Structure 1
């Protein structure tokens, strides 16, 4: 591009004052094909307006998670949590992204015990003491998405269940700490997997994180098992989720044949997951939804 052209990112700024230095640094880097190192495409790099849009969606998404947190209690049916979250999101001008997404029937996902993800809220699913559960919410606001999930424990839970919830949170945080500008996607999975294995747990490999922006699932795909120095280059302006799914037993999972959504551990061991939407910055990361 000419230095005085409008930048390719859509910011409306001149190229020389926007992404010229970024492109020069990227062009100077060498990628190792045999390591699977990948140059990020321009269409996944967010400009300031995009980032602000995702950030605002994240504020509403976090409010929805806070509401869900206040409702987790023994005797509560999970459909009532779904109903309340939907009213909050829609009442603030948002859209629950999960609702009717590829036929998914509810606004959020609530996954209990051996359910890894995509658990469907139901009047028949009643929370009881000892349960652990993940609440996963994705919100659309003014065309931008934000995605995050949290774990909860109902009353007194077994020590091994409490430990799994903690290890899963640590895995997510360690994965986020591994995100560095000009690092690689593989750095995330390597850090997550090492911590999970050190604690006697396994990482689900069939599902991972994803880019976030104007679509539900964008590039890059974020595996939570990996090798340092491999995969797509991480650069400022990328937005994606870090959301490792950690099993107390083996990593293999199955999908419910009846509903086509509910993912469970194949060995029926407990599973836990935490998720945040993050932005890669010039100096590190910014959490946009948690």
Structure 2
């Protein structure tokens, strides 16, 4: 069932989203060559505690997984699309694409956001990849009006991917969010995976996380041996996400980077 949240509940979600935003911006400022991703993880935990929140991902078992996620932060580098686990052996290098995905809980409500950072001197193609994925997110957000459908969100993302010539990761996408980090509906990035049953109409009170994921190449991905990290097949990947509330007069973005 898709939850419809009251304005007072959306304000509570917004408070969780503010913690997400503050933590992400703090962690993003630390991303530079030579940094160990485990240090980003520890910094995210400490900052979340300082702000009065709870890391949403730490030891969380989402509906799509048989395992609990072992960290508070997802740090996905280059060919890692999503769910990259921070590690004491994973070091950021010049030219890397680093995707940060973070969620927090505050007063019983959740927020979620993600961003991709180009570290130092990145290639022109990867700069274009970042530009395209970010554009796709904002084009999708513009569709979040009462009366529109989830199909319209996916179609807008596809249009941008086609314009720039990048692949879309269709197996993964956005989701409802509120009292739980993952709720219905699944917010697809590709129209081909949307069945008539899945194609919900957007209504005031819906809160969704929209998260386009683009890759160089065709968008094909696989799960690595750690059981979490999703990788593009020898390609670079990019991921942006905002938590968005659908109100009577249109979308309100609850997170920021």
Q: Give the distance between the partners of 2:166 and 2:29, measured in 1 at CA.
A: 29
> Which structure is larger by alpha-carbon Rg, 1 or 2?
1
Displacement of 1:92: 2.1
- 3-state DSSP of counterpart to 2:120: coil
Deviation at 1:219? 0.8
Is residue 2:247 matched to residue 1:281?
yes
Alignment of 1:1-290 (within 5 A): 41=1, 44-102=3-61, 103-226=68-191, 231-257=199-225, 259-265=226-232, 267-290=233-256
Mapped partners of 2:247, 2:49: distance in 1 = 31
Query: What CA distance in whole angstroms lies between the structure 1 residues aligned with 2:160 and 2:17?
Result: 28
Structure 1 residues 10-67: Cα deviation after superposition (integer angstroms, max 9, x where no partner): xxxxxxxxxxxxxxxxxxxxxxxxxxxxxxx5x5100122111100011111000111
**Higher relative contact order (CA closer than 8 Å, sequence separation 6+):** 2
Which runs of 5 or more structure 1 residues have no equivalent in the other structure? 1-40
Secondary structure of 1:44's partner?
Answer: coil
Paired with 1:93 and 1:176, the residues of 2 have a C-alpha distance of: 28
CA distance in 2 between partners of 1:286 and 1:179 (Å)? 9
CA RMSD of aligned residues (A): 1.5
Please give the secondary structure, in 2, of the residue aligned with 1:279.
strand
| Separation in 2, partners of 1:273, 1:53 | 26
The aligned counterpart of 1:25 is none
Runs of 4+ more than 4 Å apart: none
How many residues are paired up? 247
Q: What is the distance in 2 between the residues matched to 1:124 and 1:162? A: 26
Tell me, in whole angstroms, the C-alpha distance in 1 between the residues paired with 2:129 and 2:109: 32
Query: What CA distance in whole angstroms lies between the structure 1 residues aligned with 2:142 and 2:44?
Result: 30
**What's the TM-score once normalised by structure 1's chain length?**
0.82
TM-superposed deviation, 1:123: 1.4
Q: Deviations over 1:80-114 (max 9, x none)?
A: 01101111111222111111112211111010000
Q: Normalising to structure 2: TM-score of the pair?
A: 0.93
Partner residue in 1 for 2:65: none
Segments of 5+ residues of structure 2 without an aligned counterpart are 62-67
